[in-house]
Amino acid sequence: MLAVQIRRHGGPEELVVGERADPVPAAGQVVVRNRWIGVNYVDLQHREGRPYPVQLPLIPGTEAAGTVVAVGPGADRDLVGAPVAHFGHLAGAYAELTAVPLEFVVPLPGTHRWTSPPRSRWPAPPDTS
């Protein structure tokens, strides 16, 4: 899978896209195929190594939404295919797949369908030409 990784603290140039092994869910976890990823101030702090050190290398990101694609022991197999949001964990969302403990997973309405491709919600820069 592809993931954004931080190998050393610093500026935006330290965010590097690379291949990583697909996560395998541990007991009480699910693996989510992320469709939408939140970008938060704490992600910038993790990249910069403040206000507290984080273990590197790190896949940043503390929230996302997508579809459950695998469950670990102790997780309900009926979750596979379910749309969910996950947040509250400290890292791992800047990736195609994230293994998430169940306590950080919230089901989305059963009627939810991913009908449009993921896209940035950032406003376009002003045209200065």
- At 118 the pLDDT is 53
Residues composing the chain = 129
- Sign of the CA dihedral with 93 first, then 96, 100, and 102 last: positive
- At 90 the pLDDT is 81
Domain ranges of the chain: 2-107
pLDDT tens figures, 45-59: 999 998 887 899 999
Stronger pLDDT, 108 or 118, i.e. the higher one: 108
- At 124 the pLDDT is 46
Architecture in CATH of 2-107: Alpha-Beta Complex (3.90)
Q: How many CB atoms lie within 10 A of CB 74?
A: 11
- At 80 the pLDDT is 94
- At 121 the pLDDT is 45
**pLDDT, the chain, mean:** 87
**pTM listed for this prediction:** 0.83
Residue 120: pLDDT band with limits 50, 70, 90 = very low
- At 92 the pLDDT is 92
DSSP the chain: -EEEEESSSSSGGGEEEEE-PPP---TTEEEEEEEEE---HHHHHHHHT-SS---SSB---SEEEEEEEEE-TTS-GGGTT-EEEEESSSS--SBSEEEEEGGGEEEPPTT----S-----SPPPPP--
DSSP 85-116: EEESSSS--SBSEEEEEGGGEEEPPTT----S
pLDDT tens figures, 23-40: 999 999 999 999 999 999
* Mean pLDDT of all residues in 116-127: 48
Q: Which two tokens stand for residue 110?
A: 């059963």
Residue 100: pLDDT band with limits 50, 70, 90 = very high
